[in-house]
Chain A
Amino acid sequence: MSGEAKNKPNLFKTLLNGIIFENPVMVLLLGMCPTLATSTSAINGVGMGIATTAVLIGSNLVISLLRKLIPSKIRIASYIVVIATFVTIVQLLLQAYIPSLYNSLGLFIPLIVVNCIVLGRAEAFASKNGPIVSLVDGLGMGLGFTLTLAIMGTIREFLGAGTLFGMQVYPNEFGAMLMTMPCGGFLTLGCVIAAVQFIRSRGKKGAK
C-alpha cells in the first residue's frame, strides 16, 4: 500500500518512463515480432501502435483493479483472458470503422494477444500497482511503442518505396526494395536501437 502512495505523484515520470527511459522496443527489447512485421510503412506502424496502446491501457487498468482478487496460480490465464478480450474488441471495432487499416494490419491484430509488451506490463507493473498509475504506464508504454513503430515505419517507407505517409517523394523505382522486406526491418531496428543507446549513454556521462 505504501508503494502505491509513493507512486502516485510520479504519474508524469511513469508516462515518460514508457516513452523514453524504458521504451518497450528500443530499451526493453520487447515486442520484436510485431515491430519488424508492421513497420513497413509509417501509417501501418502508427496504426499498430495505437491499437496496441488501446489494448495496453485497457488490460493494465483491469488487471490492476483485479490484482487482489486473482489468485497467483491462475494469474497468467486470467491476464490472457483479459488481454484477449480487449484485443478482440479492438479488432472488431477496427474491422467495422477503419477497414483500410484492418486490411493492412491483417493477422497482426489478433497477434497483439501474445505481444510480450502487453503481458509483460501486466505481470511486471499492473499486478503490483494501483489502477491509475497502471493506466498511465499502459499509455506511456503504448506511446513508446507507437513512437518506435512510427520512426521505423517512416525510415523504411522512405528508403524502400520513396514515400512519406503514402505521399510519393521520389519515384518508387529508386527505392531500395530491401528496406520494406524483413531484412530491412532488422537493419532499421539495429540502427535505431544503436542510436538510442548512444544518446542514452551520452546522457549518463553528462549527468556524472
Chain B
Amino acid sequence: MSETKAKVQFDGKYIAKLAITLLAITAVAALLLSVVYAQTKPVIDELAEQTKRESMAMVMAGATEFTPVEYTETEGVTDVNAAYNGTELLGYCVQTAPSGFGGTISMMVGVDTNGAVTGVSILSHSETAGLGTKAMTSEFLAQYTGRTGTITVKTGADTDINHISGATVSSRAITDGVNIALAFIAEGGVN
C-alpha cells in the first residue's frame, strides 16, 4: 500500500499521464455531445412548441392565434399567451406548474376575459400510472370548465371538484394549478 502511495505522491509524470488521459477522454466526449446536441436541439424545440400549441388550442376553443404577453412574475406561473380569434381577445392561456405526487406537473389553463376557466390540459407530469393519471382524464379535467374564483378542495359538495380517490394528491395539484391561473388573471397579472 505504502509503495502505491509513494508513487502517486512523487511521480509527476504518472500524475500528468492520468490527467492528460482523462482530459482527452472528456474532450472527445464533450465534442461528441455538442454535435448531437446541435443536431437534436431544433427538433426538440419544435416538438415542445408544437405540444404547447396543441394544448393551447385545446383549452381555448375557437382561438386562431396565440401571442406571448408580458406578465408579472408570479409563483407557479411559467408562461402566458393571449388567445385571439382574428383580432378579438378571447382570453389567456396560462401555463402553471403545481407540485404533484411525483414532482412538478406542467399544465395549461385557459381563462376567458370574464375570468372563467375555458379548459385544462396537462403538458407533462410524473404521476403514478394508473392512480395519479386518473386525475388527468378528459372527464376529470372537464369539471373545471366554467369555474371562477377559487376552487376549494373539499370532496362531496356540489360546488367542488370531485376528486379521485387514490389520486388525492394529484387531483389537488391540478386544482392548485387551476387556482393559480385564476388568481393570476383576477389580480391582473397580465401587463
Contacts and interface: CB of A to CB of B under 8 A. Distances in A.
Interface of A: 40-41, 66, 69-71, 73-74, 77-78, 81-82, 84-85, 88-89, 92-93, 95-97, 99, 103, 106-107, 160-161, 175, 177, 180-181
A74 B124 contact: no
Nearest to A85: B29
A97 B43 contact: yes
Contacts of A73: 8, 18
B20 to A, nearest CB: 10
Interface in B62-116: none
B150 interface: no
A71 B17 contact: yes
6 residue pairs, one from A and one from B, having the closest CB atoms: A96-B43, A96-B40, A85-B29, A92-B40, A180-B130, A89-B36
A73 B43 CA distance: 40
Contacts of B25: 66, 70, 78, 81-82
B21 interface: yes
Q: Is the interface of B mostly helix, strand, loop or mixed?
A: helix
B155 interface: no
19 contacts: A66-B25, A69-B21, A71-B21, A73-B8, A73-B18, A74-B21, A78-B21, A78-B25, A81-B25, A82-B25, A84-B29, A85-B32, A88-B36, A92-B40, A95-B47, A96-B40, A106-B126, A181-B128, A181-B131
Interface of B: 8, 14, 17-18, 21-22, 25-26, 29, 32-33, 36-37, 40, 43-44, 47, 124, 126, 128-131, 166
A81 B43 contact: no
Given A78-B25, A97-B43, A107 B126 contact: yes
Nearest to B43: A96
Contacts of A93: 36, 40
Q: Taking each of A41, A73, A77, A181, which has the highest tally of chain B beta carbons within 10 Å of its own beta carbon?
A: A73
B25 to A, nearest CB: 5
A71 B130 contact: no
A4 B15 CA distance: 30
A89 B32 CA distance: 9
Contacts of A69: 21
Q: Taking each of B8, B37, B40, B130, which has the highest tally of chain A beta carbons within 10 Å of its own beta carbon?
A: B130
Contacts of B129: 40-41, 180
A96 B22 contact: no
A60 to B, nearest CB: 16
Contact of A74 (B22, B44, B126): B22
Nearest to B123: A103
Contact of B47 (A81, A99, A181): A99
Nearest to A160: B130
Contacts of A180: 129-130
Contacts of B37: 92
A173 B22 CA distance: 55
A161 B130 contact: yes
Q: Taking each of A74, A85, A88, A107, which has the highest tally of chain B beta carbons within 10 Å of its own beta carbon?
A: A85
B21 A70 contact: yes
A161 B133 CA distance: 12
Nearest to B22: A74
A20 to B, nearest CB: 30
B130 A81 contact: no
A81 B18 contact: no
Contacts of B47: 95-96, 99
B9 to A, nearest CB: 13
B148 to A, nearest CB: 32
B82 to A, nearest CB: 27
Given A107-B126, A177-B130, A95 B40 contact: yes
A109 to B, nearest CB: 13
